[in-house]
Structure 1
Amino acid sequence: MALRLHTVAARQGLAWLRAAFATYAKRPLGLTMLFVVFLFSAILVLALPYVGQIVVMGSLPLLSLGYMIATRAVLGGGTAQPGHLVEGLRGDTRRRAALLQLSAVYALATVVILLLADAVDGGRFERVQLLLATPERTPSENAELDALLADDRLTWGLVVRFGLAALLAIPFWHAPALVHWGGQGVLQSLFSSTLAVWRNRGAMTVYVVAWVGMIALFSVAVGALFGLLGTRQLAGLVALPAGLMFTCVFYVSLYFTFVDVFGGDGADGRDALHRPPPPGTLSDS
């Protein structure tokens, strides 16, 4: 397939977000239901003893690819369907095997990261999550939470947990799409993805900063609005659907980060944000 690595301008990071929101607005229900279906499936899988959590973690590369396939369908005038989540596994045997191997590697790496983080913070992160989820904490629990938040081991555990997770995202950012549309093998796709993220680190930095800034501004605005209304406890009613929307838009944006960086030669690559790539550039098979 005619995939060629391009280095794009830093401002493209914002263009990816704009394109993702515009695409989501075309089929909000279908693209949201895609993630809802994944969530319900994950809940069922998590009920499996021992392997449930590992299987769910390993399914995240397939989720990102499924959203990219669905996004391409929406741009072509179609709809997002739950079948897009497993469409990558319907290809030829070699690509299916490569995608399953990617999923296994991702799950294994995630487990290692979680074990390392737990070893560093001694389970403090899980305890903080439990306390924060408690609606009415006792004075002793509030004191415990304050002590945990001031604990250096929790801080270093968070650094390990999120720092290594961010590093892991780099080789897997484009890898599923490179396997599905580019026919690359596991190691080649991981290397190509890492190289693409590095060469386009300016655009990726703008992309990440834009996401963080947008979510922070939204949180501040919602908090301020409900604070003025004296109903701060109702902010969660807005936070839940907004979080779902932002998650879906994020997964939609992955398609644009891919086609803009790995588009075909000349105009085919540069126009990737405005129309689906031509059949000779990216195929659905």
Structure 2
Amino acid sequence: MKLHLVPARTGLQWVRLGIRAFWRQPMALAALFFMAMAAMSIATMVPLIGPALALALLPSATLAMMVAAAEAMQGHFPTPTVLLAAFRAGREQLRHMLVLGALYAVGFLGVIALSALVDGGQFAKVYLGNAPLSRELAEDPSFQAAMWLAMALYLPLSLLFWHAPGLVYWHRVPPVKALFFSIVACVRNFWAFTVFGFAWMAVFALTGLVVALATGLLAGVLGAGFAAGIMMAAAMLLAAMFFTSVVFTFRDCFEPPDSAVASLQG
């Protein structure tokens, strides 16, 4: 496995490729993303371990979108079976993906727990959906400090797991090594990922502005509830496009192990 270093402009290319791949199979990729999010939502209903179980499914959901994007770029129709890609790759890789999911759940809950030390757990309750967000709470300095701490801690956590599902699935790298190689790849390609992040922020902001203006003009005709539904659907579609673009960051950062990723040049 060889690490590639890419120029900063590659970050824009990743965004373009992700959007292009999504629109090759928009219905399939959107449906797969919604199904993955629904599975995680259902997992939260499991007594006692529900939230942790949902978090543990995120690396597998990320891998599913990576595999689906790869199939879309090769001209194939990604079916719902890609959601089980992590569980059909062999016993060893299945074990590695389960460990990866458990590590992510522990890491994320650790971030939330550390934020609770700042504000007594108010941000954690709001984030996990156990308490409403009021204006007074949002303006509380301790709540804001906890939010910023959680964001600062989540960044390195996300970099650790950014490439890890792909490394486990395609390169058969053990979980801990996959985490190490993932964050090294992100750090070594810092400027490309910085451009990638800011480009997606711009896409989300511009799309949100356009949708907000459109729904604002149509709210009187369609109703406030329908307009809110359009905004939510647009946000989910953008999120699906974002996850579709992840596979291209993986392709360019590591030597492709097989034709499934190497053929993503299209």
SS at 2:173's partner residue? coil
1:68 to 55, 66, 69: 66
1:110 to 108, 124, 141: 108
Shift of 1:273: 5.2
How many residue pairs get aligned? The number is 258
Whether the 8 Å contact between 2:215 and 2:230 is mirrored in structure 1 is: no
C-alpha spacing 1:75/1:146, structure 2 compared with 1 (3 Å): closer
Partner of 2:241: 249
Bigger Rg, structure 1 or 2 = 1
User: In the aligned structure 2, how far is the partner of 1:74 from the partner of 1:192?
Assistant: 26
Residue 265 of structure 2 aligns to a residue in which SS? coil
Q: What corresponds to 2:47 in structure 1?
A: 49
* Match in the other structure for 2:254: 262
Q: Which amino acid aligns with 2:119?
A: D
Unmatched 5+ stretches in structure 2: none
User: 2:60 touches 2:165 (CA, 8 Å); kept in 1?
Assistant: yes
User: Is 2:161 aligned against 1:169?
Assistant: no
Q: CA RMSD in A?
A: 2.4
1:194 equivalent to 2:194? Answer no
Residue 137 of structure 2 corresponds to 148
**Structure 1 stretches of 5 or more lacking a match?**
133-144, 276-285
1:212 maps to which residue? 201
SS in 1 for 2:235: helix
Structure 2 residue corresponding to 1:237, chosen from 229, 238, 245: 229
Once the two structures are TM-superposed, the CA of residue 207 in structure 1 deviates from its matched residue by: 0.5
**Counterpart amino acid of residue 252 in structure 1:** T
Conservation of the 8 A alpha-carbon contact between 2:219 and 2:227: no
Given the alignment of the two structures, is residue 179 of structure 1 paired with residue 179 of structure 2, yes or no? no
1:98 and 1:251 mapped to 2: Cα distance? 21
Residue type at the aligned position of 1:203 = A
Whole-angstrom CA distance in 1 between matches of 2:42 and 2:11:
36
After superposition, the C-alpha distances for 1:97-134 in whole angstroms (9 at most, x for unaligned) are: 111111111011111111222332224334597545xx
Whole-Å Cα distance in 1 between the matches of residues 132 and 232 of structure 2?
Answer: 19
- Alignment correspondent of 1:282: none
Q: Give how far 1:230 is off.
A: 6.4
Q: Do 1:260 and 1:272's aligned partners in 2 also have CA atoms closer than 8 Å?
A: no
Secondary structure at the counterpart of residue 80 of structure 1? coil
Equivalent residues of 1:10, 1:202 under 8 A apart: yes
Report if the CA contact (8 A) 1:222-1:235 is conserved: no
Partners of 1:66 and 1:93 in 2: how far apart? 17
Partners in 1 of 2:219 and 2:240 — Cα distance? Answer: 30
In structure 2, how many angstroms separate the alpha carbons of the residues matched to 1:174 and 1:73? 18
For the 8 Å contact 2:44–2:54, the answer to whether it is kept is yes
Deviation at 1:146, TM superposition (A): 3.4
Q: Take 1:168 and 1:223, find their aligned partners in 2: how far apart are those partners? A: 32
Counterpart of 1:119 in structure 2 is 117
